[in-house]
Chains A and B, each alone.
Chain A
């Protein structure tokens, strides 16, 4: 049975590397790193061990109308701004937005973590359990806060899919968007993910000894995925939004096409909450390749999840090696941008679009000495490397044993960034 072809026709970002897609791609291409030392986390009342993070310091939410902003934590504000860019980029009309055939598939790990902290501050100050609760507290915290706020901000009445699977949230949201289009239940869909940074988020990894704690004097070197001296995760924040539609729809309205999504698969390890299973990762990547009706040899490059943890990097390396051997090139963007958790897959997918345009792959920044337990995968190190980039496999993995992989194809004539 033939399936509709699904393409990306709009992109928007709020990220630590920049507040527009050209800025972010310029940063990836220049091997810039967005990690900085976080002075506030020296406060003993914060309590986290890490002092390095990747923050959207230049993000300004003041342009968002108060009526919209009051139900948004920072995560939804970033999602709203990124989505505005994507809608404008895709040149979606008011009629398209107002149609129930336009959907939203958007993820984040939690919703508004800073609002959770506000809630506890209210309790701490008064001793009354619900003293920090206001009319919009839940609306800011709820797992579907980004999707719901996007819907209201842009008047989109179609279906909402809200993925909430920690660090795989945005990749899964994009995958579910792809599937909704293939099912024919929407004509176009806005998808992606966002995350806001707060000590509460950092603490989740910190307590598991998974954050970077030995690079406080050199934050730009803190995130070193795949390196023998990797030092853990540099937590971050941001939002990335894409507009997806069928190739037929995009062609009919002469929309610019950035890439085609040709495969998606998601599964879970069903074995351990935090220790990834090589078998689960293998099955996920193979599932995406099969869904794309490709074979492993078709994949030119793997955009890895690799966040710079010993267990995660190793399991992903072994899984890639098990499928491909010494096959496609592999790199992780987290040396550049840190780990944006619910937004990670989306901002890394933006890098993939740049690679299609450049016909080159970007390196794992700060990878100098690959860990010997990496199964012999083909790392990209140093500078970007020119090569054919026709098919990309994009991975995102998450606590809870959730795995998600996308397969992307270079669009004909794509790439003018």
Chain B
């Protein structure tokens, strides 16, 4: 199990509720973002733009293309946030 952060999960879910008008109870880590949640390529762009602003992260195109489920998103954001903190100047 890849480590995830409950606060990140809550913030990601809130973004999905706001941007894509989904019900919070429909969001779980196994849900596929295109097939199950109904997003498409335009939604995916807005999703990434929002993540960049909300979490101050810069995922690569390859990382974004690998995202399949909400769980993948939770993990990616958690990873970037941890990496960002670890590499911050002390």
Contacts and interface: CB of A to CB of B under 8 A. Distances in A.
A66 B21 CA distance: 8
A388 interface: no
5 contacts: A66-B20, A66-B21, A70-B42, A70-B43, A136-B46
Interface in B9-49: 20-21, 38, 40, 42-43, 45-46, 49
Contacts of B38: 67
A115 to B, nearest CB: 14
B52 to A, nearest CB: 10
Nearest to A133: B49
Nearest to B39: A67
B20 A134 contact: no
A135 B43 CA distance: 8
Contacts of A67: 38, 40
A98 to B, nearest CB: 22
A134 B45 contact: yes
Contacts, number: 17
A86 to B, nearest CB: 27
Contacts of A135: 42-43, 45-46, 49
A316 B64 CA distance: 59
Chain A interface residue bracket vs B: under 10
Interface residues of B, number: 9
Interface of A: 66-67, 70-71, 134-136
A70 B46 CA distance: 11
Contacts of B43: 70, 135
Contacts of A70: 42-43
A135 B45 CA distance: 6
A136 B41 CA distance: 11
B46 A134 contact: yes
Contacts of A134: 45-46, 49
Contacts of B40: 67
Contacts of B21: 66
A136 B42 contact: yes
Contacts of A136: 42, 46
Contacts of B20: 66
A136 B40 CA distance: 12
A67 B37 CA distance: 12
Q: Which 3 A-B pairs have the closest CB atoms?
A: A135-B45, A135-B42, A66-B21
Q: Quick one: which of A66, A70, A135, A136 has the most chain B CB within 10 A? A: A135
A136 B38 CA distance: 17
Contacts of A71: 42
Contacts of B49: 134-135
Given A67-B40, A136-B46, 15 more contacts: A66-B20, A66-B21, A67-B38, A70-B42, A70-B43, A71-B42, A134-B45, A134-B46, A134-B49, A135-B42, A135-B43, A135-B45, A135-B46, A135-B49, A136-B42
A71 B41 CA distance: 13
Contacts of B46: 134-136
B29 to A, nearest CB: 23
Nearest to B41: A135
Nearest to B50: A134
B35 to A, nearest CB: 15
B61 to A, nearest CB: 15
B63 to A, nearest CB: 18
Nearest to B38: A67
Interface in B39-77: 40, 42-43, 45-46, 49
A66 B40 CA distance: 12
B73 to A, nearest CB: 17
A39 to B, nearest CB: 27
A66 B45 CA distance: 16
B88 to A, nearest CB: 21
B23 to A, nearest CB: 13
A70 B45 CA distance: 13
A67 B45 CA distance: 14
A66 B38 CA distance: 11
A229 to B, nearest CB: 49
A28 B42 CA distance: 43
A71 B40 CA distance: 13
